[in-house]
Every structure is written in structure tokens, then in C-alpha cells.
Amino acid sequence: MGVEVAVQGLTKSFGGQPVWSDVSLTLPAGEISVLLGPSGTGKSVFLKTLVGLLRPDAGSIWIEGKDLPRLSERALYEVRKLFGVLFQDGALFGSMTIYDNVAFPLREHTRKSESQIREVVTEKLDMVGLVGAERKLPGEISGGMRKRAGLARALVLDPRIVLFDEPDSGLDPVRTAYLNQLIIDLNQRTGATFLIVTHDINTARTVPDNIGLIYHGHLAMFGAREMLLSSTEPVVRQFLNAQRIGPIGMAEEKDAEELRAEADAGVELPPLPPIPLQLPPSDGLPRAAERPPGQWCREHGVTPPPGSFAGLRDTGAPTVTLGGPRAGDGPEVTR
Ligand SMILES: Nc1ncnc2c1ncn2[C@@H]1O[C@H](COP(=O)(O)OP(=O)(O)OP(=O)(O)O)[C@@H](O)[C@H]1O
């Protein structure tokens, strides 16, 4: 099962330059959360800080009653075993076969015999659909396969928290859809807590239970997927709907003059698009943390954008679309 990660007042700077400050959020145990933000806002730094590769200047990261920044190196080493990390490029060793790459953490961190290692490696390669590629070198397989090999390696110690740094970067939309399905299925199967950094808006809209947005050195918002997708907060609305109109400029924040010019010209953000259904796991069962579509909006008195949750039948039973990256396209299949 996954564990909760509670971040409180986290602050990080390099050479006196703050990357972000006073970040507080809770990753609920076993749920999928996505972290968004313009380039360079420190999303990768956040992941590295969570896993203890970087020390924060201030703040706490509570996991199972332990505050990570306060731990000794030795204690931190133990807590790190709870984590699996999929780095941006898969971070595979180029001179090692896929098999040896995936086996690496087991050889480093466990006393398993080679036959036990073979069992685990084969299971994880099967999970990510890479059986048959064991003898290949990373340079001999596609980018999508390298991501999946990196994922198999991230899962090999049965982590309870998995961090994904842009798992979809460099992948075409179809491969991204497959990878997203794989992530949802792995979450369902392992029950681990997932945090995904992505720039892919479709992923952010359909995969997670929760969404966060880092902007201008702060966590602008973090909460239930429906909260962010129905938010009228300009930064959230601009980012989640991939618009040029709004406070985010090419080089971070627009200045007051640029914003005034936009207002004077009468340009406004377009209406919020409908909230899609969450992607379901392939096993046909509800997601572990699944809430009825529209529940958050109902409970908080928020009217979702028109056309939201398309595919719901009148009975209230959810209907979903299989096989595509976007819920709501194509034929409806009743679960
Ligand atoms: N080890 C480091 N030392 C000094 N500065 C660093 C270090 N690591 C990251 N930075 C700086 O921190 C800032 C945030 O970088 P980071 O890679 O976390 O951004 P990001 O939001 O993940 O960007 P992108 O979306 O483009 O991947 C950048 O200005 C970067 O140069």
C-alpha cells in the first residue's frame, strides 16, 4: 500500500536564489497526483527534495511519522527505499542491458540470489510489457521502451511512493496514452502513492486524483482534480487550458503593463472546457480512490463547465471510453 506524504512550508533556494518557498501539500496515500508548472519553476527540484537528493532550506516532509529533512544520512537512506523514481530520460546505464539495469537496485540494496532477482526482474518487465527486450542495450530500444524500462527499475524494490519526472516527454500522443494507462494500472495493482510531473495537459486532466500547480516560486493551488479543472483562478485557468492570455508570460510572469494592455484590448480567457471523466484502470474495477464524477463540485457548490463528465448515463453509472487518450471521444463502454 501507499503512504501519505505531508509537505509543510517547504522552501528551497540555490545560491540565495529561491526556487520556491512555503510549499505545503499532502499527497494522499495510494492516490495519483500531478504537479504542473511553467518550465524552470522547480518541479524537478521538488521531486529531488522529496526523495532526499536535495536538502530544503526550511520545512518538513512527513512520511510515516518521520520528518525527512531532519533525518541523519543513514536514516534517510532507509526511508529512500520507500521511493521509486522514474527520471526524465529513464536514467538507464547505457552500457548495461535492460535486464541488468532493472536488476541493479536489487543487486545494490538486497541480498537476493540471482535466481530470486531473475524472478523479480521478469515480473517487473512483464508489468511494463518489456519481456523479450532483456538483452538489449538502452541505445537499441525506442524512447518509449526506455521509459518503460526506467519504470520497471523504479518498481523493482516495490516502492510505496513513485515519483515520475515527465514520463511523457518525447513520446508521441499514442505512446503517451499507453503510458498513462500503464501508470493507472500500476497504481491500481501496487496501491502506491504516485506523483507525476508533466507538461501534458491531457494527462493532467484525465489521469490524476489531485492536481497541483507551481507558479512564480509558490504552489498556486493543490487539490482534487475537479477543483483545479473548474477553477477560475487566472493562473490555473490559463495553464490548464494552454492559453497565452493570462498572467503567465513567455519568461515567467507578465508585468502589470502587459496585463493592462490585455485588459484594455478586451481579450479574455475562453470559457472553461468540460471536465472529462478520469481514465479507468484496464481491470474494469473502480480506481482505489475513485469518487463519483462531479462529487467534488457538488460538495463545494461549484457548477462544473457545461458538458462536463460526458459519457455518464442517466442511471448515474459511469460510462467511459477505452483505447484513447481522451475520455469522452469514441464509443461509450459501460463499466
Ligand atoms: N543543483 C542545482 N544547482 C543550482 N540550480 C539548480 C540546480 N538544480 C536546478 N536548479 C535550478 O532550479 C530551477 C528549477 O529547475 P527545475 O529543473 O526543477 O525546473 P522544472 O520546473 O522541472 O523545469 P522543466 O519543466 O523545464 O523541466 C532552474 O532555474 C534550475 O537552473
* Residue 152: partners with Cβ closer than 8 Å, 6 or more residues away: 102, 121, 124, 125, 127, 128, 130
Which residue owns the Cα nearest ligand 1 atom 27?
39
Which residue owns the Cα nearest ligand 1 atom 17?
44
Which residue owns the Cα nearest ligand 1 atom 3?
14
The backbone torsions φ and ψ at residue 32, rounded to the nearest 5 degrees and listed phi first, read -100, 125
Which residue owns the Cα nearest ligand 1 atom 12?
42
Q: What atom of ligand 1 comes closest to residue 166's alpha carbon?
A: 27
Which residue among 12, 36, 45, 87 has the greatest number of ligand 1 atoms within 8 angstroms of its CB, and so is best to mutate?
45
Binding pocket residue ranges, ligand 1, CB within 6 Å: 14, 19, 37, 39-45
CATH class as words, domain 5-221: alpha beta
Q: Is the per-residue pLDDT at 321 higher than 60? A: no
Q: What atom of ligand 1 comes closest to residue 48's alpha carbon?
A: 18
> Tens of pLDDT along 156-203?
999 999 999 998 887 788 888 888 998 999 999 999 999 999 989 999
Closest CA to 167 of 153, 155, 179, 159: 179
Domain ranges for the chain: 5-221
Tell me the CA–centroid distance for residue 53 and ligand 1, in Å.
13
Which residue owns the Cα nearest ligand 1 atom 14?
42
The larger pLDDT score, comparing residue 33 to residue 309, is at 33
> Tens of pLDDT along 262-304?
666 666 767 888 999 999 999 989 998 889 999 999 999 999 9
Q: What atom of ligand 1 comes closest to residue 42's alpha carbon?
A: 18
User: Cell match 526511508: residue?
Assistant: 79
Q: What atom of ligand 1 comes closest to residue 47's alpha carbon?
A: 18
Tell me the CA–centroid distance for residue 16 and ligand 1, in Å.
14
In angstroms, the CA 254 to CA 304 distance is 28
Which residue owns the Cα nearest ligand 1 atom 30?
40
How many residues are listed for the chain in this entry?
Answer: 335
User: Cell match 460538495: residue?
Assistant: 299
Confidence of residue 38 (pLDDT cuts 50, 70, 90): confident
Tell me the CA–centroid distance for residue 293 and ligand 1, in Å.
36
Percent of the chain exceeding pLDDT 70 equals 85
* Assigned C-alpha cell, 157: 524494490
Confidence of residue 147 (pLDDT cuts 50, 70, 90): confident
The larger pLDDT score, comparing residue 19 to residue 330, is at 19
* Assigned C-alpha cell, 280: 479507468
3-state secondary structure the chain: CCCCEEEEEEEEEECCEEEEEEEEEEECCCCEEEEECCCCCCHHHHHHHHCCCCCCCEEEEEECCEEHHHCCHHHHHHHHCCEEEECCCCCCCCCCCHHHHHHHHHHHHCCCCHHHHHHHHHHHHHHCCCCCCCCCCHHHCCHHHHHHHHHHHHHCCCCCEEEEECCCCCCCHHHHHHHHHHHHHHHHHHCCEEEEECCCHHHHHHCCCEEEEEECCEEEEEEEHHHHHCCCCHHHHHHHCCCCCCCEECCEECCHHHHHHHHHCCCCCCCCCCCCCCCCCCCCCCCCCCCCCCHHHHHCCCCCCCCCCCCCCCCCCCEECCCCCCCCCCCCEEC
Tell me the CA–centroid distance for residue 46 and ligand 1, in Å.
9
Q: Return mean pLDDT, the chain.
A: 85
Which residue owns the Cα nearest ligand 1 atom 4?
14
β-bridge pairing 17-27 and 32-36? unpaired
